[in-house]
């Protein structure tokens, strides 16, 4: 049997931990050759070792996706290694400082926008260029906070809303090129980033757990499964979509 992504070359940013790492592992399991990227080299290479130990094909490139030169280098390394790019998941992101808008420093706001929004824009820009001749699929990781408000997380909320605008615009621009662009809006997902936030802010943990209709957090692997499907040929007519994977949290 072959996997859903057999024969495809994939790129996953933010692949050292959390949703990005789970996505890279799932893509390799489904038969893709995967380029992992992150600013955390040790954790990124450990993820590659995990994939290879399970029979997958993976490489790692150190890159800060908020730096266009680094993104250009990442795409060049991917094309050099695999010869093409079939699918990409733009997962690198951060929560940022938790403060009301009047108390938030501009530098903290810009730091989140640079990674969560500018990083997605730069990756999309160069991924689309790499895919336009043969087609492909891009998935941007937004958030439930890309659809509803996230008090005390204005930069994160703004960046994730903006990612959906980029996704829809890119999808419309490329509808005839064969490049599909969609977004996933994860709900509260059990990742190191969320666990860190909940450990620092007790009220955040209480608020998050109370907002889960099913009484639990999502797993990174559950988000990764949505990315696998969106990048597969089974989602061939899905374009410009913002897919909630949140256990019904936003529906409440």
Supply angle C-alpha 123, 24, 209, rounded to 5.
95
Mark whether 156 is an active-site residue.
yes
Catalytic entry in 156, 162, 243, 249: 156
What distance in Å separates the CA atoms of residue 141 and residue 160, rounded to the nearest whole number? Answer: 8
What distance in Å separates the CA atoms of residue 103 and residue 32, rounded to the nearest whole number? Answer: 45
Q: What's the burial of 212, exposed, middle or buried (CB within 10 Å: 0-12/13-18/19+)?
A: middle
What distance in Å separates the CA atoms of residue 164 and residue 4, rounded to the nearest whole number? Answer: 25
Please answer whether residues 244 and 147 qualify as being in contact, where contact means their C-beta atoms are separated by less than 8 angstroms.
yes
For residue 230, the tally of other CB atoms under 10 A from its CB is 23
Residue listed under structure tokens 């007519």: 237
For residue 216, the tally of other CB atoms under 10 A from its CB is 11
Active-site residues, by number, are 156
């Amino acid at each position: 049997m072959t996997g859903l992504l057999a024969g495809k070359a994939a790129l996953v940013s933010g692949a050292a931990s959390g949703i990005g790492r789970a996505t890279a592992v799932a893509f390799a399991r489904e038969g893709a050759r995967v380029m992992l990227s992150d600013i955390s080299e040790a954790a990124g290479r450990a993820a590659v070792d995990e994939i290879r130990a399970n029979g997958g094909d993976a490489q790692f490139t150190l890159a800060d996706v908020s730096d266009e030169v680094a993104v250009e280098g990442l795409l060049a390394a991917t094309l050099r290694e695999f010869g093409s790019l079939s699918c990409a998941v733009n997962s690198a992101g951060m929560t940022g400082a938790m403060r009301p808008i009047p108390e938030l420093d501009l530098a903290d706001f810009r730091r989140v926008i640079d990674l969560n929004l500018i990083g997605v824009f730069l990756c999309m820009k160069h991924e689309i260029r790499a895919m336009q001749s043969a087609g492909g699929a891009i998935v941007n990781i937004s958030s439930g906070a890309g659809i509803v408000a996230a008090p005390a997380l204005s930069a994160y909320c703004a960046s994730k809303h903006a990612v959906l605008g980029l996704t829809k615009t890119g999808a419309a621009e490329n509808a005839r090129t064969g490049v599909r662009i969609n977004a996933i809006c994860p709900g509260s997902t059990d990742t190191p980033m969320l666990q860190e936030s909940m450990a620092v802010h007790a009220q955040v943990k209480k608020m998050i757990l109370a907002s889960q209709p099913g009484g639990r957090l999502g797993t990174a692997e559950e988000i990764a499964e949505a990315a696998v499907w969106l990048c597969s040929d089974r989602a061939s007519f899905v374009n410009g979509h913002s897919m909630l994977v949140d256990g019904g949290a936003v529906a409440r």
